[in-house]
């Protein structure tokens, strides 16, 4: 009897969300090979052959091994970057690039493998301008948005379409006085938009006066909808203790655009955030193609772990 094909889980060691998925796969006797990119090469080795028969070979951690031609599915979560602390700066930069485009290209090229999600698809979908353009095209209601480095354009936008909020285009490590900080979504006025805007790109958006928010998590063909109420918070992530949650039906007209959005980016998983207008209209804010979801299961009991394990266990069959 043939051995069951493994699931690869690519993430950092301290990933609680991945932990619960791995535990569920273990409960189902689905073999799992878990690794982190930062483990290469000291605790992770591979050899890949590519010829007329395609890609094959092996990947081995200190405890597990996977045949590259026989991977059921790959769950790409949040691996760390490559690191070569024993090398000088120039040599380390060279080694990191070779690792990224050599080793990194192998798990992204597996035959007959279901990706949740493919790392290249995740990277493409993380560009906010692309997200918003696709969201509008597939039929979501999208708030008026300006992306610019021109101060005068920003001030004019704030005057004509205010109140507006500022949103970072990409989360980035930020420290102030030696402490880690987060750049939150915040309402801004025209008088705050000075010449420093010229230094880089900025995203401004008409603020949605929200009666609540929806976090809609799409896992394969299944959709889980949770309402999040946050009072007067502009950015509900600012204070999780202030939030209340309720499992609700997905509003009419959202399921089809969600499926279309995922298809456009080549995704099978995504965490969608919507603001709810006072009349109940969902307004698209963003989709995180690698978003967090496990805390919602803790808060509401909605069974997303099982749905994700179902998807990974099924693979491309």
User: 131, 133, 25, 3: which is closest to 75 by C-alpha?
Assistant: 25
Give the residue extent of every domain in the chain: 7-116, 144-206, 209-303
Q: Could you read off the pLDDT of 253-276 as tens digits, one per residue?
A: 999 999 999 999 999 999 999 999
Domain 7-116: which topology?
Answer: Rossmann fold (3.40.50)
Query: Angle, nearest 10°, between helix axes 128-138 and 255-265?
Result: 140
- Retrieve residue 164's tokens: 């507006």
| pLDDT tier, 230 (very low <50, low <70, confident <90, very high otherwise) | confident
> Which residue blocks in the chain are alpha helix, DSSP H?
16-27, 89-101, 119-125, 128-138, 151-161, 255-265, 294-300, 304-314
CATH of segment(s) 209-303: 3.30.470.20
DSSP string, 69-100: GG--EEEE--PPPP--TTS-HHHHHHHHHHHH
251 HSE (CA, 13 A, CB side)? 22
Taking residues 276-286, what's their average pLDDT?
Answer: 94
Q: Could you read off the pLDDT of 111-126 as tens digits, one per residue?
A: 999 999 999 999 999 9
pLDDT score at 181: 74
Q: Could you read off the pLDDT of 26-50 as tens digits, one per residue?
A: 999 999 999 999 999 999 999 999 9
Does the pLDDT of residue 1 top 60, yes or no?
no
Q: Could you read off the pLDDT of 133-150 as tens digits, one per residue?
A: 999 999 999 999 999 999
């Amino acid at each position: 009897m043939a051995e069951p094909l493994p699931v690869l889980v690519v993430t950092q060691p301290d990933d609680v969300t991945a932990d619960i998925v791995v535990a569920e796969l273990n409960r189902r006797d689905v073999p799992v090979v878990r690794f982190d990119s930062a483990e290469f090469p000291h605790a992770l080795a591979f050899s890949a052959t590519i010829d007329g028969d395609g890609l094959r070979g092996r990947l081995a951690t200190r405890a597990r091994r996977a045949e590259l031609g026989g991977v059921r599915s790959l769950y790409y979560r949040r691996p760390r970057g490559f690191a070569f602390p024993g090398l000088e700066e120039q040599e380390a930069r060279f080694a990191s690039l070779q690792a990224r485009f050599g080793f990194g290209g192998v798990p992204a090229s597996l035959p007959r493998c279901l990706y949740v999600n493919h790392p290249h698809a995740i990277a493409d979908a993380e560009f906010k301008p692309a997200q918003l353009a696709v969201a509008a095209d597939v039929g979501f209601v999208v708030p008026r948005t300006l992306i610019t480095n021109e101060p005068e354009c920003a001030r004019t936008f704030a005057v004509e379409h205010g109140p507006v909020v500022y949103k970072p285009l990409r989360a980035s490590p930020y420290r102030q006085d030696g402490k880690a900080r987060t750049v939150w979504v915040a309402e801004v006025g025209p008088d705050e938009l000075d010449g420093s805007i010229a230094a880089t790109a900025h995203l401004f958006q008409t603020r949605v006066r929200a009666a609540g928010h929806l976090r809609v998590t799409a896992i394969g063909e299944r959709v889980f909808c949770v309402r999040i109420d946050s009072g007067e918070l502009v950015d509900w992530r600012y204070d999780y203790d202030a939030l209340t949650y309720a499992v609700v039906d997905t509003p009419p007209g959202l399921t089809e655009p969600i499926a279309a959005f995922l298809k456009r980016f080549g995704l099978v998983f995504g965490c969608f955030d919507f603001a709810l207008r006072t009349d109940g209209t969902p307004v698209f804010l963003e989709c995180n193609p690698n978003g967090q979801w496990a805390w919602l299961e803790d808060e509401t009991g909605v069974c997303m772990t099982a749905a994700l394990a179902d998807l990974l266990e099924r693979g491309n069959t």
